Amino acid sequence: MSTTFQSAAFFMVAALLTSCGHQEEKKAPPAPVKVSILKVQQNNIPQELTYSGTIEPDNTAEVGFAVPGVVNNIAVEEGQPVKQGALMASLDATEYSNALAIANAGLDQAEDLYNRLNELYQKNSLPAKDYIDIKTKLAQARANKLISAKRIADSRLYAPITGIITARKIERGSAAAPGVPAFTIVKTDMVYARISVPESEVGALKQGTIAQVFIPTLHDSIPGKITIINPQADATSRTYSVKIKLNNTGGQLLPGMLADIRLHTGASTAAITIPATAVVRDADDLIYVFVANAQSKAVRKRISVGALTGKNEVVVTSGLTDGEQVIVAGQTQLKDGASVSL
């Protein structure tokens, strides 16, 4: 009985092993994925330089009173647009008005005395010394009147340019002092996109070079031209400041906005380009392509890309070399190391 049981168990185990062996033999390797490839090589394309920049105002004015006094009126606030010549603030001018009244009285007295003594001088009845003395006093009285009148005018602060108030540094009732800024005004009907250009590239730029400025905040591109190339490099970064002038009549471009700038130099440069459809972006926002190697395997390679060309191709700035076989069709079905066929 025991021998029979052992024999039956032996045959069952053998059958199971044979069955597993047959199942393993049935697993065939996956079929190669049919793809199309492109042998990459460098081509001459129009040179395009790209930079990140910042929008800057055409002009910035720090405006303050020319005379001391107490602020009694503020006519504008931060963020408010102002026209050139608009009243911004004023000081209590009582002291200056009184000084002007005194100057007017002194001038009237000096003019009356001059008229009487001048008649005597014309008749040779007044010494020249006395005549010169009264002429001097008359000139001083006139100057005092002009000074007092100017102080009254300076107690009212007007906008020197058309722009936007970006800072108000005074309060009603506070003391104002000459030379201390009361307001900051930025002129923004024209603005600049400022970029920093390395020494190796600044030689390719010149005034009048066409630029395309993309403002991510506005999702809009604005054409411009290079108007300023600073000939002095920054002592730390060794880069050159370049400014692109932009029309801003609509007032949408605000100082401090970030900008992406593309410059067409008019020259040509050698670069590797591939169809934009060959580029794959994964969930981590990494950019890569698949390359077919000599063993007909797909190899995933990370790349860096530049601008799009007019042929719906992208410029590969790093990651590929001449002669590599880039998969341009069928790559969406591939994994790293998968077999491929043409």
Structure tokens that stand for 160 in this block: 């020197």
Q: How confident is the model at residue 67 (pLDDT cuts 50, 70, 90)?
A: very high
For residue 202, give the nearest of 223, 226, 235 by alpha carbon: 226
Q: Which class would CATH give 71-92+155-181?
A: mainly beta
User: Given this model, what pLDDT does residue 144 score?
Assistant: 95
User: Given this model, what pLDDT does residue 313 score?
Assistant: 84
C-alpha atoms less than 13 angstroms from C-alpha of 259 in its C-beta half-sphere: 31
The dihedral region occupied by 14, where left means phi > 0, alpha psi between -120 and 50, and beta the remainder, is: alpha
Convert the pLDDT of each residue in 241-296 to its tens digit. 999 999 998 888 999 999 999 998 877 778 888 888 888 888 788 888 898 888 88
Phi, psi (rounded to 5 degrees) for 153: -65, -40
Higher pLDDT, 152 or 270: 152
- List 62's β-bridge partners, or say none: 184
Distance CA 287, CA 318 (A): 11
Structure tokens that stand for 318 in this block: 């790093």
Q: Which CATH architecture has domain 51-59+189-268?
A: Beta Barrel (2.40)
Going from N- to C-terminal start, the domains of the chain cover 33-44+270-341, 51-59+189-268, 71-92+155-181, 93-153
Asked whether the beta carbons of 155 and 91 are under 8 A apart, the reply is yes
CA distances from 163 to 121, 183, 192 (A): 57, 12, 15
> Topology of domain 93-153, per CATH?
Helix Hairpins (1.10.287)
Q: How confident is the model at residue 25 (pLDDT cuts 50, 70, 90)?
A: low
Q: How confident is the model at residue 315 (pLDDT cuts 50, 70, 90)?
A: confident
Q: How confident is the model at residue 69 (pLDDT cuts 50, 70, 90)?
A: very high
For residue 179, give the nearest of 62, 20, 6, 33 by alpha carbon: 62
The dihedral region occupied by 111, where left means phi > 0, alpha psi between -120 and 50, and beta the remainder, is: alpha
pTM: 0.63
Indicate the CATH number of 33-44+270-341 among 3.30.70.260, 2.40.420.20, 3.30.1360.70, 3.40.1390.20.
Answer: 2.40.420.20
Structure tokens that stand for 226 in this block: 């290079």
Mean pLDDT of the region 79-106 = 94
User: Given this model, what pLDDT does residue 317 score?
Assistant: 85
Q: How confident is the model at residue 1 (pLDDT cuts 50, 70, 90)?
A: very low
Can you tell me whether residue 116 is helix, strand or coil? helix
Distance CA 128, CA 126 (A): 6
Asked whether the beta carbons of 295 and 84 are under 8 A apart, the reply is no
Mean pLDDT of the region 99-120 = 92
Distance CA 245, CA 58 (A): 8
Q: How confident is the model at residue 87 (pLDDT cuts 50, 70, 90)?
A: very high
Alpha carbon 195 to chain centroid, angstroms: 7
The dihedral region occupied by 145, where left means phi > 0, alpha psi between -120 and 50, and beta the remainder, is: alpha
Convert the pLDDT of each residue in 118-149 to its tens digit. 888 888 888 999 889 999 999 999 999 999 99
> In the predicted model, what is the mean pLDDT of the chain?
87
Convert the pLDDT of each residue in 156-189 to its tens digit. 999 999 999 999 999 999 999 998 999 999 999 8
Distance CA 332, CA 278 (A): 9
Structure tokens that stand for 152 in this block: 């009254």
Structure tokens that stand for 197 in this block: 């250009």
Convert the pLDDT of each residue in 187-199 to its tens digit. 998 999 999 999 9
Mean pLDDT of the region 196-208 = 90
Percent of the chain with pLDDT over 70: 91
Indicate the burial class of 17 (C-beta count within 10 angstroms; 0-12, 13-18, 19 or more).
exposed
The DSSP call for residue 276 is: G
Residue 102 has pLDDT above 80, yes or no: yes
User: Given this model, what pLDDT does residue 218 score?
Assistant: 92
Mean pLDDT of the region 20-29 = 55
Strands of 276-337, DSSP E: 280-281, 287-292, 298-302, 304-308, 313-318, 325-329
Q: How confident is the model at residue 18 (pLDDT cuts 50, 70, 90)?
A: low
User: Given this model, what pLDDT does residue 27 score?
Assistant: 59
Question: What is the β-pairing status of strands 298-302 and 325-329?
Answer: unpaired
